[in-house]
Structure 1
């Protein structure tokens, strides 16, 4: 039995005091309304309406249950409205600062989103608490009990001061490395530092939150940096191709997220 539908019959008849008028209001014929109320009464085991020559009235049980019928129907309407709001709402997506504006634009153009930028630690906390629907975070990283997509390797390039001759990674010795602080993603930071050391570099680190700060430091000749923006061009800055081992490794994390949104975000990053 469709409980909500039959409660709607009961409420309409109770308000109209007449099966025919209730059926007209509901856009139906009278028999289905009358039969629906009878099914509801049998299901509940109580008589809700008294039928007589003077019309239809509420029984004591019907009078007591009518307010609860209103409440259930109201809750159902609010439930449907909330589901519609969630369906139509832009997904709340978090991204790390190292993800370029180009990738964020590709992501936003593929599915309706609002974007928040924060460190991996902050993004994981926000998704866990429900403040965000999903987030693109560093890999490796602690992600608590969140669901995770595959690891995505986003191509990167070194940014070096114009005029600084670079034919090998070791040519950047003596320059600090401008990058986000270690606290933004400890495991990923340490892994990248290990890759630099394995390539023959052991630089000091210059804190730079995002591409803007990195580019400024490089253009001023104070540091070298890394970007994943495939189109970045800036005065005083030269872009040098990197091996895949220096790729930005990220993954999408979420608690509950429609597959279509997950697929759109993943496609924008690859």
Structure 2
């Protein structure tokens, strides 16, 4: 017998003074409530309620035991809440991120998870590697480039992070034609074929067909650009380095597109992570 469940029926009927009203409050029909009260009385060996034409009243035993039943239910609720807090304090969420995700967004994800009572453990890798790790259960979820082949994982919304072009310092770049002598420093095509091809197609639409210079991270991109060999893209508004200038070219087709992927069942704190990705960093010192 589920004692707490039957005590909940008893308290509801006693407080409502009516079986039908108690059933409505509990989201049940009346017969199971009546049957539950009878089972509780049989279990305890005492009559708790009196049934009259006007409704339901308490017996002497019922009046004496009602406060204790309510206290037991309240204590059980507090016990459950405390257990959930302890569980949350020890929850570890394994999150993967692509190298191009700005540090601000990574910090926002980790901080959001911490505020929700868990601990984030991050792994930085390519989209292909992250998708494989989530599929294999080695990660709980990952922030990957879009588009990408992510089947059989579930996906969140696509988030567009504004990006700017990085060019060698002092070089006049007012239109795409000024980039024709430079290679494109970007993640290797093997890291995510779909996103790489989309970037190249977008540049070709602007009259460019650059040689791809593999640059797995923003650091690699900056090094190639500072050396005067290439141009690149970054979604990190705080990236400022010697030998590199930032210029605004194109539009949303060059934004960094990312999305959260996970393996069913849905990982806890998914909404927390997506809120961090779409957060507004303005006004944050």
**What TM-score do you get using the length of structure 2 for normalisation?**
0.64
* Structure 1 segment 140-151 matched on structure 2, within 5 A: 140-151=147-158
CA distance in 2, matches of 1:90, 1:165: 48
Partner residue in 1 for 2:274:
266
Partner residue in 1 for 2:233:
226
| Paired residues of 2:167 and 2:232 also in contact (CA < 8 A) | yes
1:209 to 216, 224, 227: 216
- TM-superposed deviation, 1:87: 6.4
2:247 to 224, 229, 240: 240
| Paired residues of 2:141 and 2:267 also in contact (CA < 8 A) | no
* Structure 1 segment 1-270 matched on structure 2, within 5 A: 1-2=1-2, 85=87, 88-112=90-114, 113-242=120-249, 243-255=251-263, 256-258=265-267, 261-270=269-278
Partner residue in 1 for 2:67:
none
Partner residue in 2 for 1:40:
none
- TM-superposed deviation, 1:90: 3.0
Q: Count residues with an aligned counterpart.
A: 198
- TM-superposed deviation, 1:84: 5.6
SS at match of 1:124: helix
CA distance in 2, matches of 1:82, 1:2: 21
**What TM-score do you get using the length of structure 1 for normalisation?**
0.67
- TM-superposed deviation, 1:144: 1.5
| Paired residues of 2:140 and 2:267 also in contact (CA < 8 A) | no
CA distance in 1, matches of 2:91, 2:215: 33
- Structure 2 residues without counterparts, runs of 5 or longer: 4-39, 45-82, 115-119, 279-285
- TM-superposed deviation, 1:88: 2.8
| Paired residues of 1:103 and 1:229 also in contact (CA < 8 A) | no
CA distance in 1, matches of 2:230, 2:103: 21
Distance 1:170 1:267, change over 3 A: farther
- Structure 1 residues without counterparts, runs of 5 or longer: 4-31, 37-80
